[in-house]
Amino acid sequence: MTHAIPVPIDLLPPLLQDFERLVGLKATMALVRVYGGLRVYFPTVDRAQADHPYAALIGLDNLLKLSQEYGGLQHFQLPKAERALLAVRNARIAADYASDKTAREIAAEHGLTEGQVVRIVASLGVTAPPERRQRALF
């Protein structure tokens, strides 16, 4: 089960918060997924074209907005937004655990240990549904 967990904007680095304000969260996170941690360069508005890789990813309108603000500047590193993405992952783990998945299933899906999953859900105050806790007694 995939849950739509919003990325906590306040956990994004300031540059990505600015991107989010300009082009929205979906486009910002698309850039982060592909280019996070890499140096990026936005073309000037007059050089931003529909065939640019960024335009293919986030749309020409969004590229133009970013080019207007950041176009022509030196290359800069696009943050990876690890804290925000970790918070989203942990919220998804908690939601899965609270609904229908075991720590073992979640650990396998996320490449974690069962102990890590248990610590994550405990830190978020999540418990297994009553019917799953009852099954564990038999």
Query: Is residue 2 in some structural domain?
Result: no
pLDDT at 132: 63
In the chain, the number of structural domains is 2
User: Domain containing 114: what range?
Assistant: 82-137
Together in a domain, 53 and 107: no
Concatenated DSSP letters for the chain?
----PPP-GGGS-HHHHHHHHHH-HHHHHHHHHHHTTSEE-PPPGGG--TTSHHHHHH-HHHHHHHHHHHTTSPPEEPP--HHHHHHHHHHHHHHHHHHT--HHHHHHHHT--HHHHHHHHHHTT----HHHHHHHH-
Query: Is residue 5 in some structural domain?
Result: no
pLDDT over 90 at 43, yes or no: yes
If pLDDT is split at 50, 70 and 90, which confidence band does 4 have? low
